[in-house]
Structure formats: structure tokens, C-alpha cells
Amino acid sequence: MPLLHSRVSRNTHRKLVDKVHQRLASWKSNLLSLAGRATLIQADHWISTGPLLSHSNNLTPEQLNCNINSFVADGWWDIGKLRSMLSEDLVQQIISSPVGFNSDLQDALIWKHAANGIFTVKTAYELLFANIHQIEPFWKLIWKLKIPPKIQIFFWLAYHDKISSNDQRAKRNLASDPSCGVCGWTSESVLHILRDCPRAQSIWISMITLPPSTQFFNTGLKTWIYSNLLLKTEWNAETPWNIGFVFTCWYIWKWRNQYVFNEEEPLPYSPKTVILKAAREWSSQAYAPQSKTSKTQVSLAWKPPVAGCFKLNVDGSRKSSNGNIGAGGVIRNSVGDWITGFTANLGKGQILDAEIWGLFFGLKLAAERGISNLTVEMDSATAVQLTQRSGSSSSHPLAGVISDCRKFIDQLGNCGVYHVYREQNCVADSLAQASYNGDLGVCPLDSAPDWICSLLDDDVRGVCKTRLICLDIS
Ligand SMILES: [Zn+2]
């Protein structure tokens, strides 16, 4: 909000109003839940690219007024029918949308900028002013740097012009002469000590093959410190410039005091070597792994279910290059025999969409086959949590699919969903990767494809894969 010194006119808040309009438009287009919309084509702003109506040409009034149910076949999207009316790109966006096919959830506005999907003024404010508060305050910048605490405090004081210079002391009547104790310049300010005094300048010139900017010797104290602290480009042997800058200032201050108070002690033969060594020693310690945690290698393997029970492994996958998502899964018995499986090419979406849709299709398959006593394993901890959290997630963007998954779980009876590591979920992982090779939609696999047999064998034989995990030993 601007500070106002003149009369408020129509234009005063124009920028703010425009911004609000822009954001509201993005809400409409991106943030609406899709669950249970009455009509597909006419419903506005279904997907991020605007109303479907504007993308669909030459449709009859009957087609335009189709109920969503008429696009559903066998408990999921009727891809053939969608393709007959919409472009392939739109079909790919629609089928990964988190629609609940069996759920009785009501339509809801879902605010995607909060993890729980519930609108709050705080998240809206943050969104609105996201680009305005990017300038980090100095104290944050300095306390975040991995440098010795005594140097942090020194910088805090220097930035606020509070280190003890002759200029400062003269102003407080603690000294009569404000001039530089080294070169005799009329005023020994903080900036003179750290940058402009010839002794300091000679060190800077030896430090920098390049001054980081031509402004280096021409800016005021605060700008000079702030802008150099921000500069993280590599300076020397993997030490970033801002760390080099900090240590150089510190040594200039230290050596200046030695000169003034220890009878004109000369500078080291190579100041740069001394400064670089100190900066490197500190960073190697500061960035060393914390002593309180240690990594340990564990051996992980797929475990078959007990006799008479079944295990479903599912996984989702996303290609970052084009945003395609897919899922895959397999149901096996207590001796590791393939009962059934699937791959699903799900168009475009996010990785969590893929994981949850993978679970949906795996459970659906189990329900269709009348399988009970089912253990489900997946390597997405978030997806597992979502299925387990009871009740409160009706505003989650994936609420529709999650609700369907829960229904299947109840229906199957004696069914639990658990998290495993990816090393224990290799077959499902490979199926998910292979999903991109198939057409959009689900491809059931009644027998194991040849290419996956060696992975299945590994699981049956209990072959272990190693993984480094962090242990907290505090
Ligand atoms: Zn001087």
C-alpha cells in the first residue's frame, strides 16, 4: 500500500485493484474443485486453460449438455468419448483431474495455496504481496551466513556504523582527532577503515581479480555491505564471494587494529592466502555433516504376504520434461505369484496425482477380482498419510480420489495401506515407468510381462538392495 501525501483519486489504488482482479481470475481458472460438476463442456474454468466451451468447436447442443456421468465408463473416464469431442491435450489434462467417481462429496471451492485447501486471509495476503516482500532484511542475511558468530556481530555493528572508529569517537567526545590513524585522512569512518584507506584498498585489490562490480569502491556503507553479502558467485576454490568478502573485512579490521595499537605491525606477506585459508577452514567445518545425525546403510527387500493373504504394490511416476504422469501396480500372493497388475497412462499432472490414481486403480482392480486380506504398499509417504487421515480432508484438492480410495479400502475389508522404501517397491516402480508406452487410460495385465520377470524373481528370492538412511543418534 503506498504512503499517501496527496488526495486519494480513482488512480491511487488502481494497481492494487488490478492485482486483486488478476488473482481472483487465477482462482477461478485454477483453483476450483472439479468434483461432481453437472455438465462437462459448459461448466466454466474446469481446467487451467479456461472454459472447455471455448476449446470445443462444432458440438451439438446435446453434446454440450452432456452430464458428466455420460463420460464415465466402468468407474472411470470414457476416453473414447472424451476424444470424440475434445482435443488430445485437453483429454490429457482432464483424466488426471482428481474427480471422485464414487464419492458423495459435495462440490467445493478449494484454495490451493493452503495445504488443507481452506481459504485464509493470511494465505491470500501472502499471495497478493508475494513479489513485494522479496527484499531480505539485513539481519536475516547476516545471521543466515555460515560465518563465526564474532564476525556476525562485527558486521552487525559495522552495518549500523557502530564500530569504534576515530570519526565515531570524536563525535562522542571520546577523542579529539577524527582523522585516520593509518593514513591521516581527515575522517576515519567505518567505510574508510574497511574499504577506502590505502592499506585496505591494497588488500581488496589483491583479493579481487575482478572487483565484483565497478561500483565496488563507489557506494555508500550500507549498500556496499548489503550488495556484497548478496553476491554468492564463486570467488576462489569453491568459496563464494560473500564469504570471501566477510572474511576480508574482518581481517582488514583486525590488521588495522594491530597496526594502530602494536607499533605499526606490517601486513602479512600474502594477505590473500591468510584470508582464503581462514574462510576455507571455517566453511569446511560449518558445512561438515552434523555430528548428531549419521547415515547408515540398510538392506531392504520386498516381503511376501503371509499365506492366504495378498499384497498390492503401487507406484506413480512423472516425467519432468513434459509433465506426463503414469502409474502401475501388481497384486501378488504369499509365494510371489503374479495375480494381476496394471499400468495406467494418466495424461498430464503432478506426481501426487499419479501416486493417488495408482492407488485408486490398484484398489479398484482388487475389488473387481474379489480379493480380500490385502496389504497395500507404496513409496509415497504423503499418499499413505492422505488415505489414513480420517474425515478432515474434504477440502484437499485430491479429496474426490482419496474418498474413492477409502471406499475401496472399506469395501475390501482387512485392508491396510503402508509406506515402504522405493527399494522394496521396484516392480511397481518399473510398471509406472512403462505406463508411458501405452495409450491413455488403464491397461490391465493378467499375466506378468516378460520384461519384468527378472525383477519379480528378485522379489521372490528376497534379494536385498541397500539404502543410506539418516539415523538421529542424539
Ligand atoms: Zn586511512
Q: pLDDT digit string (tens) for 224-277?
A: 998 888 888 777 767 788 888 999 999 999 999 888 888 777 788 888 888 888
CA of 339 to the centre of ligand 1 (A): 84
Residue 8: inside a domain, yes or no? no
Lowest mean pLDDT, pick from 196-205, 214-223, 299-308, 334-343: 214-223
DSSP track, 365-425: HHHHTT--SEEEEES-HHHHHHHHS-STTTTSTTHHHHHHHHHHHHHHSSEEEEE--GGG-
CA of 216 to the centre of ligand 1 (A): 17
314 and 444 housed in the same domain: yes
Residue 2: inside a domain, yes or no? no
Question: CA neighbours within 13 Å on the CB side: how many for 101?
Answer: 19
List the beta bridge partners of residue 313.
Answer: 330, 377
CA of 126 to the centre of ligand 1 (A): 47
55 and 164 housed in the same domain: no
**Between residues 118 and 70, which one has the greater pLDDT?**
70
CA of 395 to the centre of ligand 1 (A): 65
165 and 82 housed in the same domain: no
Residue range of the domain that includes 304: 300-472
Give the residue from 383, 299, 427 showing the smallest Cα distance to 98. Answer: 383
Determine what percent of the chain is predicted with pLDDT higher than 70. 73
CA of 208 to the centre of ligand 1 (A): 20
318 and 443 housed in the same domain: yes
Residue given cell 606490517 in the structure block: 266
Residue 115: inside a domain, yes or no? yes
Residue 9: inside a domain, yes or no? no
CA of 44 to the centre of ligand 1 (A): 70
CA of 131 to the centre of ligand 1 (A): 42
DSSP track, 147-209: S-HHHHHHHHHHHTT-S--HHHHHHTTS-S--S-TTT--S---HHIIIIISHHHHHHHHHH-S
Residue 291: inside a domain, yes or no? no
CA of 210 to the centre of ligand 1 (A): 23
The answer on pLDDT for 176 being more than 70 is: yes
What's the pLDDT at 19? Answer: 61
How far apart are alpha carbons 425 and 459 in whole angstroms? 9
Q: Which of 236, 255, 286 is the last residue of a domain?
A: 286
307 and 272 housed in the same domain: no
Question: CA neighbours within 13 Å on the CB side: how many for 33?
Answer: 21
223 and 263 housed in the same domain: yes
Q: Which of 257, 286, 315 is the last residue of a domain?
A: 286
99 and 159 housed in the same domain: no
What's the pLDDT at 87? Answer: 80
CA of 249 to the centre of ligand 1 (A): 15
Q: How many residues appear in the chain?
A: 474
448 and 350 housed in the same domain: yes
CA of 185 to the centre of ligand 1 (A): 5
How far apart are alpha carbons 365 and 380 in whole angstroms? 20
C-beta atoms surrounding 474 within 10 Å: 7
How far apart are alpha carbons 449 and 454 in whole angstroms? 10
pLDDT one-digit tens code per residue, 36-63:
444 555 544 455 555 666 666 667 777 7
The answer on pLDDT for 372 being more than 60 is: yes
Residue 464: inside a domain, yes or no? yes
- Residue 305 Cα distances to 133, 377, 406, 457, angstroms: 53, 11, 21, 16
Three cell numbers at 390? 480420517
In the chain, how long is the greatest CA-to-CA distance?
97
CA of 157 to the centre of ligand 1 (A): 19
CA of 262 to the centre of ligand 1 (A): 16
* Domain count of the fold of the chain: 3
What's the pLDDT at 145? Answer: 84
CA of 207 to the centre of ligand 1 (A): 19
CA of 167 to the centre of ligand 1 (A): 11
End-to-end CA distance of the chain: 47
The crossing angle, in degrees rounded to 10, of helices 241-261 and 198-207 is 150
CA of 116 to the centre of ligand 1 (A): 60
153 and 113 housed in the same domain: no
199 and 330 housed in the same domain: no
362 and 326 housed in the same domain: yes
pLDDT band, very low/low/confident/very high, at 1 (cuts 50, 70, 90): very low
How far apart are alpha carbons 301 and 295 in whole angstroms? 19
170 and 199 housed in the same domain: yes
The answer on pLDDT for 404 being more than 80 is: yes
Sign of CA dihedral 152, 157, 158, 160: positive
**Between residues 395 and 152, which one has the greater pLDDT?**
152
Mean pLDDT of 131-150: 76
CB of 298 closer than 8 Å to CB of 266 = no
**Between residues 69 and 334, which one has the greater pLDDT?**
334
CA of 168 to the centre of ligand 1 (A): 14
CA of 192 to the centre of ligand 1 (A): 6
The answer on pLDDT for 448 being more than 70 is: yes
Give the residue from 390, 391, 385, 371 showing the smallest Cα distance to 417. Answer: 385
Residue 403: inside a domain, yes or no? yes
pLDDT band, very low/low/confident/very high, at 216 (cuts 50, 70, 90): confident
CA of 214 to the centre of ligand 1 (A): 21
Q: In this structure, what CATH number is given to the domain that contains residue 425?
A: 3.30.420.10
The pTM of the whole model exceeds 0.85? no
CA of 427 to the centre of ligand 1 (A): 71
Residue 137: inside a domain, yes or no? no
CA of 241 to the centre of ligand 1 (A): 25
CA of 227 to the centre of ligand 1 (A): 23
CA of 266 to the centre of ligand 1 (A): 15
The answer on pLDDT for 114 being more than 90 is: no
How far apart are alpha carbons 359 and 365 in whole angstroms? 10
Whole-number average pLDDT of the chain: 79
CA of 187 to the centre of ligand 1 (A): 8
What's the pLDDT at 452? Answer: 92
Q: Which of 95, 128, 161 is the last residue of a domain?
A: 128
CA of 165 to the centre of ligand 1 (A): 11
CA of 47 to the centre of ligand 1 (A): 66
CA of 233 to the centre of ligand 1 (A): 29
CA of 267 to the centre of ligand 1 (A): 14
